[in-house]
Amino acid sequence: MEDRRRMRIVMINGQNHRGSTYHIGRMLADKLADDEEIKEFFLPRDMNHFCVGCYSCIEDETKCPFFAEKKMILDALQEADLFIFTTPNYCMGPSGAMKTFLDLMFDYWMTHRPKEWMFGKKAVVISTTAGMGAGKAIAMVKESLKFWGVPYIRTYGTAVMAMNWETVKDEKKAKIEKKVSRMAAGIARTGKPRVGIQTRFLFKMMAGMHKSGWDSSPVEKAYWEEHGWLGKKRPWM
């Protein structure tokens, strides 16, 4: 496994309490980095706002009424090598706080103005449930990461059959430990993530959209032009 101290990790936790999902996410983080290299955010504690649909971010990201909180998280993500998103299954989806966070990040989708550095990141999405629904909770977070341009996304969902981590059976915890260890080893073996066919295709499709002027604002097309992305230049090159 690569030098643990060299991997910087940001955890975005879709709940304030430290339940089963959080414990699994932290288990993974601890296998890949030392404590001082792990930065955690808890939702809604660290982002307690709903997107109000004002579209101010489309013209200028700093005009979002909640940009100060967004920037704090964005700066941490930019410095990280790996993102770990944790959210329990709430009614067959991610937590409301996680969904709200994703809503506030919509202007960084390839549809609008993606961040160039996102195309060099790794991410893991983790969810637990008492019975069913972990996969559905994961899917929405994974979709946002894909449209942010993150090329390497791994997922882990499991039914813990318990209300909290303390009451998860020892046999189940042992199985989780093995799976998380294998995941950590795979992440550590992977160097700089390669941008795959799906991300390349999406980016090309969005470039065509911006070339045609199908933008929410002329600012978006100008952004793509400034980066050279309407030509042959790509953020991963």
- Give the pLDDT confidence of 41-58 residue by residue, as tens digits: 999 999 999 999 999 999
User: Cα(204)–Cα(195) distance, rounded to whole angstroms?
Assistant: 13
User: Is residue 105 within 8 Å of 73, Cβ to Cβ?
Assistant: no
Q: pTM for the full model?
A: 0.93
155 vs 92: which has the higher pLDDT: 155
CATH of domain 4-193: 3.40.50.360
Q: Which residue has the tokens 């995941």?
A: 183
Per-residue pLDDT tens for 196-231?
A: 999 999 999 999 999 999 998 999 999 999 999 999
Output the average pLDDT for the chain.
94
* pLDDT-derived band at 2, boundaries 50, 70, 90: very low
Residue 3 has pLDDT above 60, yes or no: no
What's the pLDDT tens digit per position in 71-89? Answer: 999 999 999 999 999 999 8
Whole-angstrom distance, CA of residue 144 vs CA of residue 159: 23
Q: Rounded to an integer, what distance in angstroms lies between the CA atom of residue 196 and that of residue 190?
A: 14
| Residue entry with tokens 């008492």 | 130
User: Is pLDDT at 182 greater than 70 in this prediction?
Assistant: yes
The confidence band for 1, taking pLDDT boundaries of 50, 70 and 90, is very low
CB contact at 8 A, 209 and 60: no
Structure tokens at 134: 């972990």
